[in-house]
Structure 1
Amino acid sequence: MELAQISQALRNDAMTVVFFNVLLQQLGLPVPAVPTLLLAGSLVLAPEGIVPILAAAIVASVLADWVWYGTGRVFGYRVLAGLCKLSINPSSCVSQTEARFVRWGLSSLVVAKFIPGFSTVAPPIAGALRMSQPGFLLAAGIGAGLWAGLALGAGWLLQDAVQTAIATLDRHAGRALTLTLLALGIWLGWKLWQKYRFRKFCAVPHISPDELLQALATEQPPLLLDLRGASMIADAGPIIGARIAEHDFLRDAVGDWPKEQAIVTLCACPEDAGAIQAARQLLNQGYLSVKPLKGGYDAWLQATRPAQESTSAG
């Protein structure tokens, strides 16, 4: 659809256009809503005309967040693990975002819309952690109101500039499309470069689940740091003997553990991303033997399941 057609659609029924645009974006589709909000704000003649459009944007955003909240509540950590696996950058792990969300609480939803990536994972995290639904909806509504209100207000205050920019883009649609595709290509190339750099970053010695089990049975077992997110620990339960750790507070989790004794980091991220990051961080802090568990929590489960099943049978 051309910009002139979008402008005409907004003039005819701005509430409907904004509602569906915001809804689709917040559900995860790659349809940017901020340009539509800016354009809608620039077409409003008086400030009070923004109110119904803002209401439509808030309802759409909260509805999408509520869907994600319900999905997280029903499927728990599997939703977050799926989002983590879909990430083009393995080093960007949901469990780290989840830890920060738990620390900030529902108030983080107020600023979630302004943080790329966090807006998508915050609602399912809230659902997976069984956070209060009324509190969630209130915080999500406030955050949506601030986000959409700023875009609509900016559009109204800068309506001449916005209209001029839209007209210019409409006259040079071919160039605009070329520049957009170029920007998208640069962004995609940057993400792939980050992935390549991460794979080189992964070149750190790992420990296998069998080796870890043998080490834990010795007189001087390693310290096992569990870096899974709070919702997964709540769903699957803690690992007996392991210390729960967060990336932002690794030193607190390690405590007074001697730097010459072994440490093993464990996560549930694709390609052991979180465990590798934690191991690198601790090695840089002077700990002499820190290894991520190869295969993460899934590999740990497979290695310990026979023992768990025999214990249950007994």
Structure 2
Amino acid sequence: MMDLSQITEAIQRDAVWVVFVNVLLQQLGLPVPAVPTLLVAGSLAAGSGPAGAMLAAAVAASVAADWLWYLAGRIFGYRVLSGLCRLSINPASCVTQTEARFVRWGLWSLVVAKFVPGFSTVAPPIAGSLRMPLPGFLLAAGAGAGLWAGGAILAGWWLRDELQEALAAMNRHGRTVIVIVALALALAGWLVWKLWQRHRFERLAAIPHVTPLELVEALASEAPPLLLDLRSAAMVAETGPIAGARGADVEKLMDAVRDWPREQPIVTMCACPGDATAVRAAHVLGELGYAAVRPLKGGYEAWLAANHPA
């Protein structure tokens, strides 16, 4: 096993390629942190030339990965976003919320995406699904990558003495074992936090739901409930609106239900793993005094299956 001095020598010898591969893998969605590599690479840069080459490699890798995700979003639409959200340990981080953030920030969301944990991977496919013009997308993605990677490389160069002393100390006293233990502890802490978020969401989701068949029967009755469609704008544009449903934004629920009596039933529906947005909306409306709010079990896909059984 290589010790830290050998790892440092490898980065110093092939810094540009190490940076390129590391950033590419992270931006493709693999759990491979790139910032530590950028910091070490920056601390080893002897002048502006090597630092510039490292920055160019990082930006090229980041934009290449973002472009692939953009194409996936453009070709497959909301299904890519739904798949990414299903991979998340925390199902509350779903399509509707991430897209709402993107729509609210516009082009700037791509510039700041690299600095927002969890948003960096989902922003490019959202841009593709919303048909953002490719030149503007590439420009914003490149600007964001430049700020993110440039800041890390500059910080590494600025703190080069401290970083080199820390690397030397770890190499003397623990070699790679210290790094492995530190990474393992960091990963364990992140995993515990994510599992706690999931546990908290599952507690919130333990509320009465309405099944698709029950909803179909209720909508055909003399006193139908109000059906709130909380799907993302991209998905509604791609699949069409639902007849009789009222589109709603989870951040602006009062705008959708202001004229609805608080004692009348409301059903919330989304296209999220675990019905995350529908559950969240049901809790918010309950806190606002609406007494009969239930999320649709299974969301939009279950609704389609109930109305189009073939």
Q: Measure how far apart 1:219 and its partner are.
A: 2.9
CA contact under 8 A between 1:40 and 1:155: conserved in structure 2?
A: yes
Runs of 4+ in 1 over 6 A off after TM superposition: none
Code of the aligned partner of 2:23: V
In structure 2, the partner of 1:217 is 220
2:207 to 185, 204, 208: 204
Q: Measure how far apart 1:246 and its partner are.
A: 1.7
CA contact under 8 A between 1:95 and 1:229: conserved in structure 2?
A: yes
Structure 2: how far apart are the matches of 1:121 and 1:160? Answer: 36
- Answer yes or no: is 1:249 the counterpart of 2:235: no
Question: Please, which runs of 5 or more residues in structure 2 have no aligned partner?
Answer: none
In structure 1, the partner of 2:279 is 276
In structure 1, the partner of 2:140 is 139
In structure 1, the partner of 2:178 is 175
Q: Measure how far apart 1:260 and its partner are.
A: 1.5
Structure 2: how far apart are the matches of 1:44 and 1:159? Answer: 9
Pair 1:183–1:16, CA change in 2 (3 A): closer
Structure 1: how far apart are the matches of 2:90 and 2:12? Answer: 40
Aligned to 1:118, what secondary structure does the other structure show?
coil
Moved more, 265-274 or 111-120: 265-274
Q: Measure how far apart 1:57 and its partner are.
A: 0.8
Structure 2: how far apart are the matches of 1:258 and 1:136? Answer: 44
Identity %: 64
In structure 2, the partner of 1:34 is 35
In structure 1, the partner of 2:83 is 82
Structure 2: how far apart are the matches of 1:156 and 1:185? Answer: 29
Structure 1: how far apart are the matches of 2:160 and 2:188? Answer: 30
Q: Measure how far apart 1:142 and its partner are.
A: 0.3
Q: How does 1:124-163 map to 2 (within 5 A)?
A: 124-163=125-164
Q: Measure how far apart 1:51 and its partner are.
A: 1.6
Structure 1: how far apart are the matches of 2:10 and 2:283? Answer: 53
Code of the aligned partner of 2:136: G
Aligned to 1:218, what secondary structure does the other structure show?
coil
Q: Measure how far apart 1:261 and its partner are.
A: 1.3
Pair 1:219–1:105, CA change in 2 (3 A): same
Pair 1:213–1:183, CA change in 2 (3 A): same
Structure 1: how far apart are the matches of 2:185 and 2:53? Answer: 36
Structure 2: how far apart are the matches of 1:264 and 1:275? Answer: 8
Structure 1: how far apart are the matches of 2:45 and 2:75? Answer: 41
Q: How does 1:230-309 map to 2 (within 5 A)?
A: 230-306=233-309
Pair 1:183–1:21, CA change in 2 (3 A): closer
Structure 2: how far apart are the matches of 1:226 and 1:264? Answer: 9
Q: Measure how far apart 1:52 and its partner are.
A: 1.8
CA contact under 8 A between 1:267 and 1:274: conserved in structure 2?
A: yes
Structure 2: how far apart are the matches of 1:55 and 1:185? Answer: 33
Aligned to 2:294, what secondary structure does the other structure show?
strand
Aligned to 1:221, what secondary structure does the other structure show?
coil
Structure 2: how far apart are the matches of 1:74 and 1:151? Answer: 33
For normalisation by structure 1, the TM-score amounts to 0.93
Structure 2: how far apart are the matches of 1:251 and 1:67? Answer: 38
Structure 2: how far apart are the matches of 1:222 and 1:97? Answer: 28
Q: Measure how far apart 1:276 and its partner are.
A: 0.6
Q: Measure how far apart 1:85 and its partner are.
A: 0.9
Q: Deviations over 1:145-177 (max 9, x none)?
A: 000010011011111011112222333232332
Q: Measure how far apart 1:2 and its partner are.
A: 4.2
Q: Deviations over 1:202-248 (max 9, x none)?
A: 12111111211122122332111111112221221111121222221
In structure 2, the partner of 1:91 is 92
Q: Measure how far apart 1:48 and its partner are.
A: 4.7
Q: Deviations over 1:57-102 (max 9, x none)?
A: 1111000000110111111111111111111112221321111112
Structure 1: how far apart are the matches of 2:15 and 2:182? Answer: 27
Aligned to 2:268, what secondary structure does the other structure show?
strand
CA contact under 8 A between 1:96 and 1:246: conserved in structure 2?
A: no
Aligned to 1:272, what secondary structure does the other structure show?
helix
Moved more, 196-205 or 142-151: 196-205
Code of the aligned partner of 1:109: L
Structure 1: how far apart are the matches of 2:12 and 2:274? Answer: 49
Aligned length: 307
Aligned to 2:109, what secondary structure does the other structure show?
helix
Structure 2: how far apart are the matches of 1:151 and 1:70? Answer: 28
Code of the aligned partner of 2:187: L
Structure 1: how far apart are the matches of 2:271 and 2:91? Answer: 12
In structure 2, the partner of 1:14 is 15
- Answer yes or no: is 1:194 the counterpart of 2:205: no
